[in-house]
Structure 1
Amino acid sequence: MNRLIIAVTLSSALALGACKKEPPEMAPPPPQNTTPAPTPTPAQTPMAPQPGSQSHFATAMSGADTIYFDTDSYNIDAEDQAALRRQAEYLLQYPNARATVEGHADERGTRDYNLALGERRANSAKNYLVSLGVPETRLRMVSYGEERPVATGSNESAWARNRRAVTVMIEN
């Protein structure tokens, strides 16, 4: 029991001694900020389409990437010539750009007939581009016939939109 009284007395003395507060002689320095300040991120600028890409071409052409034909025809009229001149100017401005001229037909006629007509339309547009100075080696052509319509329906309005040749950039 004697030991217990001594232990309690000692622990009380230690506890009271630890609670004794005296002002420090000098104030401690303020805490240092250890987290680095955030680095401001530069404002994100929208990425412009790469010249020669399909999106850049489509923006530059604003609809002149497509020419339209009369029924059973692959003749290029004055309006088509203007669109093809714009395409040629673009292709000549970007000498690394390559393109595919796609030929399309409406749903009337047999599959074989429409594929042949689409090919004649694509070839007609391609030849006109070549006549304007675009190197033939930079142009491909393909016929989709009636397989890729942009307008559905069995009426003159839909058929007129599907009788077309579309120039599409080949992504490198």
Structure 2
Amino acid sequence: MINRLLLAVLVIAMAACSSTKQTGEGVDIEDRQPAEFSIEDGEDGVSIGGIGDGVSGGETNGIGSDGSYSFTELDDPDSPLSERIIYFASDSNVIGNEYTSMIEAHSRFLADNPEVNVVLEGHTDERGTREYNLALGERRAKSVRDFLLLQGASVSQVEMISYGEERPAQSGQGESFWGQNRRVEILYTNR
């Protein structure tokens, strides 16, 4: 009896916390503002944060006169779009400075081609528990996703999945192998 009463009180408290005050006034779609993010460019790499975290620009490499890319650039080895792997430091989801222009190019390509989608696959090395590595792979994929969205890609274009340590790029022991496995791969699902 007491357990049921406690459960009922808990459910009511949770419902009260989750409800919002209704004022009867709607929000016009034109009044919506996009979420604001910032990119912090530091010695260790790029961090994505909320408002007030500071913004530093990166270099961009445009192909067309307007900075746009075409589908042929996806396979052109001279194009930043042909690069689709972002590597990470051990136990980190901070994007290194060397990847900012490449990710910006992918974001611009996605913004210019709204029918194109990508899957971001997060990976880790074999050290750590399975659960920890799945979470770390997801955090890495989220870092890349947030960067893509900040630069103009649409939420509907980006899917994420974490494989943790389950799909290594290299098998073996030591930093040279582990470093190749700590990555996010950008995979285009339709062209």
Gaps of 5+ in 2: 1-69
- Percent identity of equivalent pairs: 38
Measured in 2, the distance between the counterparts of 1:96 and 1:64 equals 20
The answer for the alignment partner of 1:81 in structure 2 is 100
The answer for the alignment partner of 2:157 in structure 1 is 138
User: RCO (CA 8 Å, sep 6+): is it higher in 1 or 2?
Assistant: 1
Q: What amino acid does structure 2 have at the position aligned with 1:160?
A: G
2:124 pairs with 1:105? yes
2:74 pairs with 1:57? yes
The answer for the alignment partner of 1:119 in structure 2 is 138
SS in 1 for 2:166: coil
Measured in 1, the distance between the counterparts of 2:105 and 2:115 equals 17
**8 Å contact from structure 1 (residues 64, 87) kept in 2:** no
TM-score (norm 1): 0.64
4+ aligned runs moved over 6 Å, structure 1:
none
| Higher CA-based Rg | 1
SS in 2 for 1:112: helix
2:136 pairs with 1:93? no
The answer for the alignment partner of 2:8 in structure 1 is none
Question: Relative to structure 1, is the Cα distance of residues 95 and 133 closer, same or farther in structure 2, using a 3 angstrom cutoff?
Answer: same
Residue-by-residue CA offset, 1:109-154 (whole Å, 9 max, x unaligned): 1111110000000001000000001011110000000111111111
Measured in 2, the distance between the counterparts of 1:142 and 1:121 equals 10
Residue-by-residue CA offset, 1:11-60 (whole Å, 9 max, x unaligned): xxxxxxxxxxxxxxxxxxxxxxxxxxxxxxxxxxxxxxxx76xx973545
Give the deviation of 1:88 after TM superposition. Answer: 1.0
Give the deviation of 1:102 after TM superposition. Answer: 0.7
SS in 1 for 2:86: strand
Task: Please report the RMSD computed on the Cα atoms of aligned residues, expressed in angstroms.
Answer: 1.9
Q: What amino acid does structure 1 have at the position aligned with 2:103?
A: L
Measured in 2, the distance between the counterparts of 1:89 and 1:153 equals 36
Question: How many aligned residue pairs are there?
Answer: 120
Give the deviation of 1:64 after TM superposition. Answer: 2.1
2:177 pairs with 1:158? yes
